[in-house]
Structure 1
Amino acid sequence: MPAPTLQNHPLSTQPRPSQYATGLMWFRRDLRTHDNAALFYALKHCKQVHCVFVFDKTILDKLPNKADRRVEFIWESCMALKSKLQSFGGDLHLLHAHAEQAIPALVKKLGAQAVFTNKDYEPAAISRDAEVANTLKNEGVELFRFKDQAIFEEDEVLTQGGKFFSVFTPYKNACLKKLDEFHLTPYPSEARMGALSPVNNLPAPTLEDMGFERTNLLDMIKPGEEGALDAFEDFLDRIDKYKDKRDFPAIKGVSYLSVHNRFGTISIRRLAKAAYDRFRTSGSEGAMGWLNELIWRDFYFQIIFHRPDAAQHAFKPEYDHIQWDSDEKAKKLFKAWCDGKTGYPLVDAAQRQLNQTGFMHNRLRMVTASFLTKDLGIDWRWGEQYFADHLNDFDLSANNGGWQWAASSGCDAQPYFRIFNPHSQSEKFDPDGKFIRKYCPELAKLSNKHIHNPAECPPFELQMAGVVLGQTYPRPVVEHDVARKKTLERYAVVKKAKVEE
């Protein structure tokens, strides 16, 4: 197979642009200068390139919490990007506006003939881009969009029948069969920085200007491209053990790169290539396990691209007929789940981790989602929205896919009769109770045996540990075995109706 060249790079999936005097690079989920597809093509095809990021009011005005870690992460990453561009002789326009109006207005102001940006596969983003493209086209300006956040996108990996995959394993196998160095070739965007427009000291809104507040983000995460590279280098030292350690929240087993992946402060090609090369050279099961997770990300991208209705509805339509609990009792149970006060320590610790840090370990996302839908009988969309409001790494496709997996309503989801037991999950994945003790300190003095289920702890040990059920720590809000039976009945009604159709 011939070596990839910039002229036939596999990641450019549309006609190559012409040469322009002035172009605009529109940053979105790609806050870096290294290996950036749209930035490379903008610099290559324009004599002068301006750069912009829009703090989009259409998105930000809907956020319920003005102390939002994600907005702070984006702002910090934009400031780092701005500094990086300045070091190359350019700068970054930072606008707090509605992108649909701001981009065409800036194009007109700068006299740009073309806009370059990287694709976003979410329904709202596709609609926004179509509106911007149409407005620009009426002004004789072209919007060029490139693949950058996915290894494979849209229709690049299809079944033999020409349809999109709805089951992960065959999708993964098809991806691995197609994946090679050709698809992991980086764009040398930083080699062409001489084309940046020599503007400098452009004004930038502060978080406070946009109505947002500082959070505890910087105590936990270093934003920007430099922060991403630091986290990546740290993970490379641990990647070989990833498969063995990834399910244990009390140890440093996962990559902690999800927020950087979400906002593109590091290239997906760099991540995938590192895993791909490590597996090929050493047979590392950890590297392959992590590559599988990156492919899961692509899998959900192509699901939301082909089935945008899944953002609001069950992927399997019959599951939209499930009768979820939504009365006042359900609302109180939902609040207990949100606050980490269900009486199930691992669930509570997971929710408190999310509330305090904006992060939740992947294993715990499955456990707590299963608990909400199958122990509490509450609509997965309630939990999906809560995660959307609180996760630093919130991504519509992955969040939706994960919740529908837990609720058994999605593509390749676990069968409805497979219901996580929160106690056994706790004993298996936090055997010493270390994670629980960190986020539920009121249980810290319980033994390893009883910390997973304080309700079954002998009264004497509870007294010695200073735990008073119903006061210092809640009693279980439901009985798991009873809730499990009710869930099986709830789903069986829907399955029976499907069969009878």
Structure 2
Amino acid sequence: MSLLWIRRDLRSFDNPALNQAVQSGCRYALYISTPKQWHLHHDAQIKLDFMRRHLLEMGRHLTQYGIELVHVSVTDFNEQQDCLINFCHDHQIEHVFANSEPEFNEQQRDKALLDSGLNITFYDCDVIASRGRILNQSGEMFKVFTPFKKAWLKHIRESGAECIGWPKVPDNLPQSHIIFAEQKLALLSQQLNSFDADENQSEEDCHSSSLSSQWPLADELMEKVVPHFLDDKVGVYSETRDFPGIKGTSGLSPYLAIGALSARTLYQQLLHRYPQLIEDVNHPAFCWLNELIWRDFYKHLLFHYPKLSKCSPFQPKYAHTKWPGERVHFEAWTRGETGYPLVDAAMKQLIKTGWMHNRLRMVVASFLTKHLLVDWRLGEQFFMEHLIDGDFTANNGGWQWAASTGCDAQPYFRVFNPILQSQRFDPNGDFIRRYIPELKEIPNKYIHFPHEYMAQQGLTDIYCSLLVEHKAARLRAIAFYKG
């Protein structure tokens, strides 16, 4: 008897643990939810709802292989270990198949299970190039992205990155196994109604209205959205991706974050359309592939530097920095009340939708860490608490990049000007007006910094005042970092 342990891999396509489980004649798949652990890791309610929907869809997929998906809820990873061991004992499981998770707590849990004597095999499936394979001439992890990318491309050219497709349905599978799995699915659906309930959460959090229904399931996405993006949009991605007022990005990050899609699948789909892409870095579509390589970069970093999971900056010189930012300024930032329209519109987009445009993530992170000198870890946590695509490695890497504390981060003296960013990437103020309707009557000329115009027109009460003045804040930031 074997068992498939489902974790952050809620898909059937390109799932090596599932493939091996099916080949071994597996009849059970186990998902052990950990609401308290999710709460400690600041996972957003909208993300948990997205996971719940895809877990149920995974259960439907598994029925064709005669595999029953069992859901058990415990509090945290310690109880998760005991639950898995007991399940294997009760069902006489001899081998467990699972896909790896790179974060520190997850790695400690998995090591404890192996040390306990449990026969478990882990597979690396959330990156395109396997961890530990992209190293410099000294055999160490790269600390700058560009040489990592060059080595990554060389490795992929030589070794490839094949996704393994769908598991083969067993030829001799009794119909009774399929029927039994389908019957259990109805019970599973009822169980998952309390999927993310945590005794430490407030009633408001547990009944959040910010659910994921606006995001289709991965099957529909792969059938309709992905082909449209790769056929019609990826060629102009470099020209459109920075403008939040238009739909120029892929919108695939939530699916990658929970493992509903694999990066290898997207890579193969892209290479199928543009076979020359791996050799031609100047091709227009390479800009999007570059984003997938950045994703691998951050995940490889965590593999080599587990301290990143412990709230530590990548650059040791920032380890004991005393951030002078005020709590009241941080709270105003979370509400979208900084007085800079693009920053405020971006934060309101996050609160309202559970997602934020990538260009705006850089703008608001720079504003919090440089203009307000607030500890980047507060922003990192706030993002995780609200993002449907909250992924630790990408979120941590992005925040440390903005705060100049990370690997290959922007120089400390680079401070985004939120007014110029607004003028460049939302020239007519369309995005700003969508999320700050009180500014809808402000002329385009003044929409990026409306305060002088509002004072002239006697409209000072329709929008919040400035938290800080840009020029003064920039000089303060440079002096602080230099010190």
2:237 and 2:248 in contact (8 A); partners too = yes
Q: Which residue of 2 aligns with 1:412?
A: 408
- Which of 362, 368, 374 is the matching residue for 2:364? 368
- Which of 277, 288, 291 is the matching residue for 1:290? 288
Q: Which residue of 2 aligns with 1:8?
A: none
SS in 1 for 2:2: strand
Q: Which residue of 2 aligns with 1:247?
A: 242
Q: Which residue of 2 aligns with 1:35?
A: 14
Match status 1:206 vs 2:185: no
Q: Which moved more, 1:383-392 or 1:225-234?
A: 225-234
1:88 and 1:194 in contact (8 A); partners too = no
1:72 and 1:217 in contact (8 A); partners too = yes
Once residues 169 and 209 of structure 1 are traced to their aligned partners in structure 2, the CA distance between those partners, rounded to angstroms, is 41
For residues 439-487 of structure 1, the C-alpha deviation after alignment (integer angstroms, 9 at most, x for no partner) is 1111111111111001232644x45xxxx33x32101110011111111
Which residues of 2 match residues 40-439 of structure 1 at below 5 A?
40-44=19-23, 46-62=24-40, 68-97=45-74, 98-135=79-116, 137=117, 141-180=118-157, 183-193=160-170, 198=178, 199-200=180-181, 201-202=183-184, 203-204=187-188, 205-208=191-194, 210-211=196-197, 212-213=206-207, 215-236=209-230, 237-281=232-276, 285-311=283-309, 312-326=311-325, 330-439=326-435
Once residues 422 and 133 of structure 2 are traced to their aligned partners in structure 1, the CA distance between those partners, rounded to angstroms, is 40
Once residues 158 and 10 of structure 2 are traced to their aligned partners in structure 1, the CA distance between those partners, rounded to angstroms, is 24
- After superposition, the Cα gap between the structure-2 partners of 1:51 and 1:296, relative to the gap in structure 1 and judged at 3 Å, is same
- Which of 472, 476, 487 is the matching residue for 2:477? 487
SS in 2 for 1:418: coil
SS in 1 for 2:446: coil
For residues 348-383 of structure 1, the C-alpha deviation after alignment (integer angstroms, 9 at most, x for no partner) is 011011111110111101000000000001110110
- Residue 193 of structure 1 deviates from its aligned partner by 5.0
Q: Which one-letter code corresponds to 1:355 in the other structure? A: I
For residues 373-398 of structure 1, the C-alpha deviation after alignment (integer angstroms, 9 at most, x for no partner) is 00001110110110111111111111
Once residues 223 and 305 of structure 2 are traced to their aligned partners in structure 1, the CA distance between those partners, rounded to angstroms, is 34
1:279 and 1:288 in contact (8 A); partners too = no
1:80 and 1:224 in contact (8 A); partners too = no
Once residues 409 and 64 of structure 1 are traced to their aligned partners in structure 2, the CA distance between those partners, rounded to angstroms, is 22
- Residue 218 of structure 1 deviates from its aligned partner by 4.0
1:115 and 1:143 in contact (8 A); partners too = yes
SS in 1 for 2:369: helix
- After superposition, the Cα gap between the structure-2 partners of 1:260 and 1:64, relative to the gap in structure 1 and judged at 3 Å, is closer
2:65 and 2:169 in contact (8 A); partners too = no
TM-score by length of 1: 0.86
SS in 1 for 2:444: coil
Once residues 114 and 58 of structure 1 are traced to their aligned partners in structure 2, the CA distance between those partners, rounded to angstroms, is 28
Q: Which one-letter code corresponds to 2:136 in the other structure? A: T
For residues 78-113 of structure 1, the C-alpha deviation after alignment (integer angstroms, 9 at most, x for no partner) is 111111222443331112124212211221122111
- Runs of 4+ in structure 1 over 6 Å off: none
1:207 and 1:213 in contact (8 A); partners too = no
SS in 1 for 2:25: strand
SS in 1 for 2:273: helix
1:23 and 1:115 in contact (8 A); partners too = yes
Once residues 491 and 120 of structure 1 are traced to their aligned partners in structure 2, the CA distance between those partners, rounded to angstroms, is 34
RMSD: 2.1
1:31 and 1:225 in contact (8 A); partners too = no
Once residues 194 and 132 of structure 1 are traced to their aligned partners in structure 2, the CA distance between those partners, rounded to angstroms, is 33
Once residues 229 and 96 of structure 1 are traced to their aligned partners in structure 2, the CA distance between those partners, rounded to angstroms, is 32
Q: Which residue of 2 aligns with 1:473?
A: 463
Q: Which one-letter code corresponds to 1:369 in the other structure? A: A
- Residue 227 of structure 1 deviates from its aligned partner by 3.7
Once residues 42 and 155 of structure 2 are traced to their aligned partners in structure 1, the CA distance between those partners, rounded to angstroms, is 42
Once residues 385 and 113 of structure 2 are traced to their aligned partners in structure 1, the CA distance between those partners, rounded to angstroms, is 27
- After superposition, the Cα gap between the structure-2 partners of 1:366 and 1:425, relative to the gap in structure 1 and judged at 3 Å, is same
SS in 1 for 2:168: helix
- After superposition, the Cα gap between the structure-2 partners of 1:331 and 1:413, relative to the gap in structure 1 and judged at 3 Å, is same
- After superposition, the Cα gap between the structure-2 partners of 1:34 and 1:68, relative to the gap in structure 1 and judged at 3 Å, is same
- After superposition, the Cα gap between the structure-2 partners of 1:385 and 1:64, relative to the gap in structure 1 and judged at 3 Å, is closer
SS in 1 for 2:285: helix
Once residues 194 and 445 of structure 1 are traced to their aligned partners in structure 2, the CA distance between those partners, rounded to angstroms, is 66
Once residues 57 and 259 of structure 2 are traced to their aligned partners in structure 1, the CA distance between those partners, rounded to angstroms, is 13
1:72 and 1:214 in contact (8 A); partners too = no
Question: Which of 1 and 2 has higher RCO (CA within 8 Å, sep 6+)?
Answer: 2
Once residues 219 and 110 of structure 1 are traced to their aligned partners in structure 2, the CA distance between those partners, rounded to angstroms, is 36
Match status 1:25 vs 2:20: no
Q: Which moved more, 1:148-157 or 1:407-416?
A: 148-157
Q: Which one-letter code corresponds to 1:316 in the other structure? A: Q
SS in 2 for 1:304: helix
- After superposition, the Cα gap between the structure-2 partners of 1:58 and 1:128, relative to the gap in structure 1 and judged at 3 Å, is farther
For residues 319-363 of structure 1, the C-alpha deviation after alignment (integer angstroms, 9 at most, x for no partner) is 22333115xxx1110011000011000000110111111101111
- After superposition, the Cα gap between the structure-2 partners of 1:434 and 1:174, relative to the gap in structure 1 and judged at 3 Å, is same
Q: Which moved more, 1:210-219 or 1:315-324?
A: 210-219
Q: Which residue of 2 aligns with 1:14?
A: none
Q: Which moved more, 1:254-263 or 1:190-199?
A: 190-199
1:113 and 1:142 in contact (8 A); partners too = yes
Once residues 370 and 312 of structure 2 are traced to their aligned partners in structure 1, the CA distance between those partners, rounded to angstroms, is 18
- Residue 73 of structure 1 deviates from its aligned partner by 0.4
1:25 and 1:51 in contact (8 A); partners too = yes
- How many matched pairs? 457
1:76 and 1:224 in contact (8 A); partners too = no
Structure 2, gaps ≥5 residues long: 198-205
1:23 and 1:50 in contact (8 A); partners too = yes
- Residue 166 of structure 1 deviates from its aligned partner by 1.0
For residues 289-336 of structure 1, the C-alpha deviation after alignment (integer angstroms, 9 at most, x for no partner) is 11111111110011111112123111111122333115xxx1110011
- After superposition, the Cα gap between the structure-2 partners of 1:79 and 1:490, relative to the gap in structure 1 and judged at 3 Å, is same
Q: Which moved more, 1:49-58 or 1:386-395?
A: 49-58
Once residues 187 and 96 of structure 1 are traced to their aligned partners in structure 2, the CA distance between those partners, rounded to angstroms, is 30
